[in-house]
């Protein structure tokens, strides 16, 4: 067996980040990195691991909003967060920060999504150029519930029957901008349940990842989704058929949060959902979103 003594020595001198796959269809945990002091070599290793695994977990971090923004910016420019369901910005002076929380102060929620389920979705895919990545950092977590699952849209696409792949090859899908994943109406938008007329962005249903070159199914979210040009009933039936694949555990990895966890996901080739949790417990997460480089193709 070939063993490289030299590389073992090099590893002892500078172990660099250690990347351990979750063993599921996607996701890896990274050990041995402080995101406030990550050098260029460590950062390149992180970026590579992120492309390989689509979702990265880094535990035991202590980040304030400025630290979270500074680390996020190393991947690219940031998108401003959507405004809160109440119409307010989450953090005065830091429009990049999105807060996911059920906590209220003087009866006003400090964040979005409440304590209910957040259904499978891609972040902000109702934009023409959706964010390429999101980063979520855990500040307070409940004792139970509120787990977040991720699924690989590469793996979902690969698993589709060939006949279905052929049927969807040239279709375009509207990603609705009316409701968020908690089912709340977005600020400034008129409520509607007609996917043909709802606001949103149209993207190809099958896309190619700009960095990895891999194909993926690009669904966004189920509510008010619409396959452009089809009769509504035909669109609904085909979307249901595709969404039937999403719930299969073989495509997913579920994360149980601890305070200090940072999770970075590729928002192009994954979707995520969150379990509900006890409304009387507190959960506070801060998020940034990194701008996409181009519209999905
Ligand atoms: C998000 C999101 C779910 C969660 O931050 O984009 O969907 O686990 N969060 O809070
Ligand atoms: Mn989300």
Distance 147 CA to ligand 1 centre (A): 10
Nearest ligand 1 atom, CA 100: 10
Distance 8 CA to ligand 2 centre (A): 40
The CA distance from 91 to 138, in Å, is 16
Q: In percent, how much of the chain has pLDDT > 90?
A: 89
Residues within 6 Å of ligand 1 by CB: 100, 118, 123, 134, 136, 148, 181, 272, 274, 285, 287
Burial of 253 (0-12, 13-18, 19+ CB in 10 A): buried
**Residue 41: what pLDDT?**
95
Distance 123 CA to ligand 2 centre (A): 5
**Residue 86: what pLDDT?**
80
pLDDT in tens, 219-277: 999 999 999 999 999 999 999 999 999 989 999 999 999 999 999 999 999 999 999 99
**Residue 4: what pLDDT?**
46
Cβ atoms within 10 Å of 188's Cβ, excluding its own: 8
Is pLDDT above 50 for 5? no
**Which residue, by CA, sits nearest to atom 4 of ligand 1?**
274
**Which residue, by CA, sits nearest to atom 3 of ligand 1?**
274
**Residue 192: what pLDDT?**
94
The CA distance from 220 to 123, in Å, is 8
Ligand nearest to the CA of 284: 1
Nearest ligand 1 atom, CA 287: 5
**Residue 1: what pLDDT?**
43
What ranges make up the beta strands (E) of 15-93?
18-21, 28-31, 55-58, 78-79
Domain 1-297: CATH class, spelled out: alpha beta
Distance 274 CA to ligand 1 centre (A): 7
Distance 171 CA to ligand 2 centre (A): 24
Largest Cα separation within the chain, whole Å, is 66
Q: Is the dihedral of CA 77, 28, 253, 245 positive or negative?
A: positive
The CA distance from 268 to 152, in Å, is 10
Ligand nearest to the CA of 286: 1
Nearest ligand 1 atom, CA 134: 6
Which of the residue ranges 74-88, 119-133, 235-249 would you say has the lowest mean pLDDT? 74-88
Ligand nearest to the CA of 112: 1
Distance 100 CA to ligand 1 centre (A): 6
The CA distance from 34 to 68, in Å, is 12
Is pLDDT above 60 for 184? yes
Distance 31 CA to ligand 1 centre (A): 23
Closest to 111 in 3D by CA, of 184, 192, 49: 184
Ligand nearest to the CA of 146: 1
């Amino acid at each position: 067996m070939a063993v490289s003594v030299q590389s073992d020595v090099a590893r002892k001198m500078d172990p660099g980040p250690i990347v351990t796959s979750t063993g599921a269809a996607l996701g890896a945990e990274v050990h041995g990195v402080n995101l406030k002091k990550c050098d260029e070599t460590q950062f390149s290793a992180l970026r590579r691991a992120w492309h390989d695994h689509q979702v990265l977990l880094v535990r035991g971090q202590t980040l304030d909003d400025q630290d979270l923004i500074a680390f996020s910016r190393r991947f690219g420019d940031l998108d401003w967060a959507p405004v809160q369901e109440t119409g307010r910005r989450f953090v005065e002076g830091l429009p990049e920060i999105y807060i996911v929380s059920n906590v209220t102060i003087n009866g006003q929620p400090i964040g979005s999504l409440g304590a209910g389920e957040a259904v499978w979705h891609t972040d902000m895919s109702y934009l023409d150029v959706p964010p390429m990545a999101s980063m979520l950092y855990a500040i307070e977590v409940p004792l139970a519930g509120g787990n977040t699952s991720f699924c690989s849209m590469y793996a979902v696409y690969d698993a589709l029957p060939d006949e279905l792949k052929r049927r969807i090859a040239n279709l375009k899908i509207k990603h609705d901008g009316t409701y968020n994943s908690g089912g709340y109406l977005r600020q400034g938008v008129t409520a509607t349940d007609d996917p043909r007329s709802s606001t949103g962005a149209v993207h190809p249903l099958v896309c190619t990842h700009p960095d990895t070159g891999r194909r993926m199914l690009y669904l966004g979210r189920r509510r008010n989704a619409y396959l452009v040009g089809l009769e509504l009933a035909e669109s609904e039936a085909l979307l249901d058929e595709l969404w039937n694949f999403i719930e299969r555990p073989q495509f997913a990895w579920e994360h149980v949060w601890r305070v200090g966890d940072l999770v970075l996901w590729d928002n192009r080739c994954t979707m995520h959902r969150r379990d509900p949790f006890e409304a009387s417990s507190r959960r506070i997460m801060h998020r940034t979103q990194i701008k996409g480089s181009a519209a999905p193709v």
